[in-house]
Amino acid sequence: MGVSRKCVKTWIDRFATEGDPGLATRSSRPHSMPTKTSDEVEQKVLAARAERRDGPDVLGPKVGVPPRTVSRILRRHGVPYLRELDPITGEVIRSSKQTAVRYERDRPGELVHMDVKKLGKIPDGGGWKAHGRQMGSSAARKKLKVGYDYVHSLVDDHSRLAYSEIFPDEQGPPAPTSSRARSPTSPRTASPGSSG
């Protein structure tokens, strides 16, 4: 079966004593950790970090704990890295991945961010580099119907659902209230479970 005799013996013993539940996957963490850092020392390290905002190499000698142990204590309690904190206030910077709360509206469709990108059209066969400088004249542009396309992109502030649509130049850019620019919370584009 591709496993060691010891492993098979462990499974047999577990099944004999515990039945089917004994074969379930379990954590490899030991049942007891005699050398684990005490809660008093951990609280001392956390208090020193909150007061001084120093790294493990500086905090270790001050609290009498090895720097690696200080680092493990800080990670265990979810204390952010110093690089993610504002140096003056000690608050977590918004761009940090440690930030659990993000800015968003309460309901889908309450606030929609819209951006319009203007894209220049290139006629068949290339532009003025291929056909000469006369392509740059307004008469040539009208003849070839060279103009712009407008890409409207909408992002819903609650669900972060994005929607984009291209409006050719002949129609002109529509007004923001046009029925052609669908809301990202319409049935076609809404995320599952959203209401609005």
Give tens-digit pLDDT for 88-138: 887 877 665 555 556 678 888 888 889 999 987 777 777 667 767 666 666
Question: DSSP states of 136-185 as a string?
Answer: GSHHHHHHHT--EEEEEEEEETTT--EEEEEEETTT-PPPTT-TTS--TT
> What are the sequence ranges of the domains in the chain?
37-102, 104-196
Q: What is the CATH number of domain 37-102?
A: 1.10.10
Give the mean pLDDT of 152-180: 72
Task: Report if pTM > 0.75.
Answer: no
